[in-house]
Structures are given as structure tokens and as C-alpha cells.
Amino acid sequence: MPAVMTDEQATPAVPQESHNLRLLTTERSNEASEGLDTKSSLDIARIINAEDSKVANAVKKALPEIAQAIDAVARCLRDGGRLIYVGAGSSGRIAALDSAECPATFSTLPAQVQYIMCGGPKALASAADVNEDSPEMGQRDIAKRRPTRKDIVIGISASGRTPYVVGAVEYARQRGAHTAAITCNRDTRLADAADITIVAEVGPEVISGSTRLKASSAQKMITNMITTGAMTRLGYVYDNLMVNVHMKNEKLVERGIGVLQRVTGVDRDVAIRTIKSAGKSIPIAVVMLKASVDKMEAVRRLQKSDGNVRRAIENSALEL
């Protein structure tokens, strides 16, 4: 087991990369935004918008690796494992956002998709006084989650060199966990540490080095794809509908009723009655109506299909 150092031992300071930070594409000066401080508000908005338009294409080039990550996450969650994001600064906040959205969108348990933020939750709202240059701190924080071969740990770092993130991913991989990296630079230590590397080369930022801009937009798009893709593969989406919606407020109750109507073609009254008899579970209600079974049989089918709604309806034992 790799050693995990204490806070006293985890002193900052020596850069972990041999190359100069300023050589990274995300740190270079952007010719398109030169003289930004002399521009009008409309010109500033136009410049930012023009640069933002490059993000989707950069992500598109990484689709094969994103697909690999989707499959890896789906396998791990299906086998009872977890997706654990690790990040610092803006990248960590993107990770936390995706983690927080999964239970609301797919009714996953909070433990299934987690995040580790350098500096802890307090660093989400402010630039906390934490040392992201310490790989030992990253090792320590991921060690608390006890990663195993069932889990996948995804490190997010725009530069691809953040020692905290690199340390966490290296530790997780040594413990047998699956690993992936999301970065905006090629040939980095984080890429070397991970099994799967997703690189979105968005180029220099409008404000040099401010990776909360294009880099974070790319990271948000990629994390959206990974969790949405994995949950869809697991059957938590039926057709393109949010069948696992958790109806905890008026808006979500209406969404659930609408989903059931669209999937089954029943009228509103039948949808409401079925949802009530299904214990307010849309997946159970969908299976009841689509397969013409009672609640008990619907529950049995969903359990047999690991929550995959389509397979529960078709009563299929196909594998992912």
C-alpha cells in the first residue's frame, strides 16, 4: 500500500512538472483578446463568445475517449462501485456540480457519484487557503474513500499537472480502481496516471490562465456526457425521458406525470392513479403500464434488471 503522508510532511513547494507552466496552451496569451481592457462591453462579450464557440469542437475531438469513460462508469456503477471525481479550484467545482446533480436527475444514491475537492467543501464557495501542490494531500483524501477495483476515480485538471489531483489518481490506480483524467493539455502527468485520458484542447483563455472560462466549459460538457451516458446505459433513462425523476416538489411531480403520459399514452388521471399505486416511483409506474403487470411484478422485474426500465419491460437478461 503506498504511503500516505501527514499534513506536516505534506509541505508545498517544489513543482512536480519539469516543464514550465507557461508553456501549457491553457496558460498562453490569446491574441484574439489582446487589449481586452480597452474594449467596450459589447466587444468583450463578442470576444468571449467567439472563443467559447471553439469549446464544442474541442470536446468533439475527444468523443472516443469520452465513450470509454461512459462505459467504464456504467460498469462500475452496475457492479456496485462508485464514481469519485477529484479536482481543485474551478475543476473541483465542476466535479462537485456534476456529482450534486446526479441524485436529482437520476435518483442515484449520493454515495454512487461523489467528489473530492481540494480544501474540502469550504473551497467550493471561496478560494480556500489550501495547497493543491501536495500530491500527498491528494493521496490522503482519496485514501479516506477506500477506493477498490469496483470504483472509478476521475481526476479533473485543466493543466493536467495539479499535484493534488495527480497524487489522488495515482493512489487510486495503485489500489486497483479504474481511473480517468479530464484535462485541456496533452502529455501531462495526470494523463500518465490514468487509464483513460480525455483531452479537450480549448487553447489559450480570453484572460490568460483563467481556466474557469473555456477549460471549465469543456469540463462541464464532458462530465455531463459521462454521467448522462452512463446513467442512460444503465437504463435510468427511457427513450430520452427522465424516468428516474424523484418527485420531491411540484415541478418534479408534474414532470413525472408528463413522463408517464408520454411513455405510456395514458391520460392524466390514469397517470396520477398509477403513480400513487406505484408508491410515487415513475420506473415502477412505467413498467406496470408498459408491461401490464401489477406493482409487485414491476418491482421484481426492476430488481432483476438492476433498475434498467427498458429491460424490466422486456423482461430481458441482456448485458450492457
Q: What is the DSSP letter of 241?
A: B
User: How much of the chain exceeds pLDDT 70, in percent?
Assistant: 90
Residues with a catalytic annotation lie at 101, 132
Query: Quick one: 258 and 223 in the same domain?
Result: no
Q: What is the mean pLDDT of residues 1-28?
A: 54
Query: Quick one: 147 and 283 in the same domain?
Result: no
Query: Quick one: 176 and 310 in the same domain?
Result: no
Query: Quick one: 37 and 84 in the same domain?
Result: yes
**Predicted local distance difference test score (pLDDT) of residue 30:** 81
Q: What is the mean pLDDT of residues 263-267?
A: 93
Query: Quick one: 112 and 172 in the same domain?
Result: yes
Query: Quick one: 263 and 215 in the same domain?
Result: no
Query: Quick one: 80 and 229 in the same domain?
Result: yes
Query: Quick one: 227 and 255 in the same domain?
Result: no
Q: Which of 233, 263, 292 is the last residue before a domain boundary?
A: 233
Residue 13 domain-assigned (yes or no): no
**Predicted local distance difference test score (pLDDT) of residue 140:** 96
Q: How are beta strands 196-199 and 83-87 bridged, if at all?
A: unpaired
Which comes out higher in pLDDT, residue 40 or 315?
A: 40
The grid cell for 29 is 496569451
**Where residue 115 falls among pLDDT bands split at 50, 70, 90?**
very high
**Predicted local distance difference test score (pLDDT) of residue 22:** 66
Look at residue 317 and tell me whether its pLDDT is greater than 90: no
Which comes out higher in pLDDT, residue 16 or 263?
A: 263
**Predicted local distance difference test score (pLDDT) of residue 316:** 45
Over the stretch 62-103, which tens digit does the pLDDT of each residue have?
999 999 999 999 999 999 999 999 999 999 999 999 999 999
> Can you give the CATH number for the domain in which 81 is found?
3.40.50.10490
Query: Quick one: 224 and 261 in the same domain?
Result: no
Query: Quick one: 162 and 284 in the same domain?
Result: no
Q: Which of 233, 261, 276 is the last residue before a domain boundary?
A: 233
Closest CA to 82 of 152, 171, 181: 152
> Can you give the CATH number for the domain in which 257 is found?
1.10.8.1080
Q: For the chain, what is the mean pLDDT?
A: 89
Residue 320 domain-assigned (yes or no): no
Q: Which domain holds residue 77?
A: 21-233
Spell out the long-range contacts of 185-189 with Cβ–Cβ below 8 A and sequence spacing 24 or more.
185/24, 185/25, 185/26, 185/158, 185/159, 185/160, 185/161, 186/160, 188/17, 188/157, 188/159, 188/160, 188/161, 189/16, 189/17, 189/160, 189/161
Over the stretch 200-237, which tens digit does the pLDDT of each residue have?
999 988 898 888 999 999 999 999 999 999 999 998 89
Residue 291 domain-assigned (yes or no): yes
Q: Which of 176, 201, 233 is the last residue before a domain boundary?
A: 233
pTM of the model: 0.86
Looking up cell 434488471, which residue turns up?
305
Q: How many domains does the chain have?
A: 2
